[in-house]
Chains A and B, each alone.
Chain A
Amino acid sequence: MQRLHIARIAAAGATAAAAVLATIFGCATGPTDDELNAKAAAVLRASFKEQGQAKLDRLTQDDTQKTCSQYSGSAVPKDAAERIEKANLASIKWPADGKYLGDWASGERIAQEGRGMQYSDDPKGAVGANCYACHRLSPQELSFGTIGPSLYQFGKLRGYTDEVRKYAYGKIYNAEAYSACTNMPRFGHSGILSEQQIRDVVALLMDPASPVNK
C-alpha cells in the first residue's frame, strides 16, 4: 500500500515527473509516456460521439495542442515554445487595410457572450469570446474570472499606439504566437471570431472611449 501510494504521488505530479519515473523503472512500470499519450488519445477518440456542430475531428490535435498537452502542468521546454510561437505567429492573418480598431460597444457584447461552438449551441447563433469568464475588463462588470490577467485600463496603461493595437489584434487572433501553451483560445486562427469581431474586441481594449480605459 505504501509503495503504491508513492507511485500515485509520482503519477499525480507533473507529466515530466511521470516521464522520469517511466525512464527509471523502464518496462517494469508499464507503458512509456509516449505509449500512454497515444493510448489516451485513442481511448478518448473511442469515448466521444459527434453531436451537433462538434464532430470527432475536434479530438485531432495539431502540433500546438499535442505539445502543450504533453507539457501541461509543467514548464514548456524553450525549443518547443519557440517552435509553437513561430508557427502560430506565421498563421496570423492581419487585416488587409491595416485597421485594428472596431466598435468597442460591439466588443463589449462579444466579451460578455459565452455561447458559440458548443454542440448545444445553434450553429447559426451568436458566437462570443466570453472574455469576462477569465479576465477583468470594464470595471462595471463585477462578474469576471481570474484565469487570465486583468485587462482593465489595457490601452490607457500601454498607450494608444498602433503597435499596441496590432499586438492586441494578434494576441486575440492567435495567443499561442506570443505565449506558448497559454490557456487562451486562438480566436482568429480557430475560426471562432471574424476579423471584424476581433477588431471590435481590440476596440474594447484600445479605444480611449471604451469603459475598459475609464
Chain B
Amino acid sequence: MRIHRRGALPVLTLSLMLAAAAALGQGNAVDEIAKYRAALQDGNPAELWEARGADLWKQKRGPKNASLEQCDLGLGPAVVKGAYAQLPRYFSDADRVMDLETRIVWCMVKLQGFSEADAVKGPFGGPDRKSDMEAYVAYITSESRGTKMNVSLDHPKEREAYRLGEKMFHFRGGTHDFACATCHGEDAKRIRLQDLPNLTQTAGAQKAYTTWPAYRVSQGELRSFQWRLNDCFRQQRFPELIFTSDASIALTMFLARNANGALFDAPAIKR
C-alpha cells in the first residue's frame, strides 16, 4: 500500500479525482469530506498520547530524579488544569514570554536537571521514535479542553511578543515569497480542497488555534503547535524553524491571543 509522505503532491490525485468527478460535483465532495471528519471524531488516537503524557509527567526522571508535577505552567506549581488556555505568557522567574513547550523545557532543566540540549531533543515523533514532548503536550493541552482562551497582554514583553508575532506573520521570504499571510490572510480560501482559516480574524484564529494539537491521520502522529509552525515554514520554503525559538513563541502569542474568548477544544483529530 502506498502511504503518501509529506512533500509529495501525488499525480495519483488527478486520476482519483477524475473517478470522483464522474459521480459527484465538488459541493458534494466537500459535504462528504465533512462526514468523513465527523466519523473520525468518535475515537481520537490522541488519547493514547494524553495517557502516556500523564504517566510521564508523574515519573521521576533526569539527573535530579524528579517528576514534572511541580512545574509552574503559569497558574502556580502543580496546576495543570486550564493552564494551556492562558499560554503563552510572561514568566517572571525566566523574565521572558514562554509557550507551553518552552516552559516544559524550562521545568525539565530546573526540576529534573536535564541540560537544555537534552531537553529539546526529539521534539517531534516519527516512524521509529516516540516524542516525550508531544506526549507532555497532549496531556497538558487536554487539561484545558473546554476552557476559554484567555491570553494576557498585560506585561510589556507579552505585548512585544504579540506585535513581533504579527510582523512575522506578514514576513515574506524564501524562494516563493510566501508569508503566513499568503495562505492565512483572507477569508474563505482553499489550498487544493483544504479550507484555510483566516488567522488575522477572530473567528478564523479561534477555530484554528483551539483545534491544535491534533492527531494527524496522514502521519499517525499527534502534532503540537510547535510542529504546526515548523511544518508551515517548511512548506513556505523557509529554513527550519528552531524548536522553542523566539519567533515560534512570538507567532504562537499572536495566534493564541487572536483566539481569545473561544473554548479550547484539543487535542483534535485532523486529516
Contact = CB atoms under 8 A, between A and B. Distances in A.
The reply to whether A and B meet directly (CB within 8 Å) is: yes
B29 A183 contact: no
Q: How large is the interface on B (under 10, 10 to 19, 20 to 34, 35 or more residues)?
A: 35 or more
A68 B172 contact: yes
Contact of B9 (A49, A54, A115): A115
A190 interface: yes
Determine chain B's interface SS by DSSP, over half rule: mixed
A172 to B, nearest CB: 13
Given A15-B170, A146-B189, A130 B9 contact: yes
A143 interface: yes
A20 B19 CA distance: 53
B181 interface: yes
A19 to B, nearest CB: 12
A194 interface: no
B163 A109 contact: no
A145 interface: yes
A190 B177 contact: yes
A97 interface: no
A144 B192 contact: yes
Contacts of A185: 175-178
Interface residues of A, number: 66
A98 interface: no
Contact of A49 (B166, B234, B242): B242
B179 interface: yes
B221 to A, nearest CB: 15
B191 A133 contact: yes
A58 B173 contact: yes
A206 to B, nearest CB: 20
B94 interface: no
A130 B178 CA distance: 14
Given A72-B179, A133-B191, A54 B153 contact: no
Interface string A47-60: 11111001110111
Contacts of A15: 170
A65 B191 contact: no
B1 interface: no
A145 to B, nearest CB: 4
Contact of B234 (A30, A41, A109, A120): A120
A132 interface: yes
A46 interface: yes
B6 interface: yes
A147 B179 CA distance: 13
A8 interface: yes
Interface in B147-188: 153-154, 156, 159-160, 162-164, 166-168, 170-179, 181-183, 185-186, 188
Contacts of B166: 11-12, 18
Interface stretch (A75-83, A134-142, A158-166, A196-204): A134-142
**Most central of B18, B176, B183, B246 by chain A CB within 10 Å:** B176
A140 B13 CA distance: 11
Given A12-B200, A64-B177, A65-B177, A48 B238 contact: yes
A82 to B, nearest CB: 18
A90 interface: no
Contact of B176 (A8, A60, A192): A192
A118 to B, nearest CB: 5
B11 interface: yes
A119 to B, nearest CB: 6
B174 to A, nearest CB: 4
In the complex, the 6 A-B pairs of residues with the closest C-beta atoms, listed nearest first:
A114-B9, A47-B247, A47-B245, A40-B167, A72-B170, A51-B240
Given A58-B239, A147-B190, A185-B176, 7 more contacts: A43-B247, A43-B250, A46-B246, A54-B238, A58-B238, A142-B29, A146-B188
Interface of A: 1, 4, 7-8, 11-12, 15, 18, 30-31, 36-37, 39-41, 43-44, 46-51, 54-56, 58-61, 64-65, 68-69, 72-73, 109, 112-115, 117-121, 128, 130, 132-134, 140-147, 176, 183, 185-186, 190-192
11 contacts: A11-B162, A30-B156, A43-B164, A47-B241, A47-B242, A59-B239, A72-B181, A119-B239, A119-B240, A145-B189, A190-B177
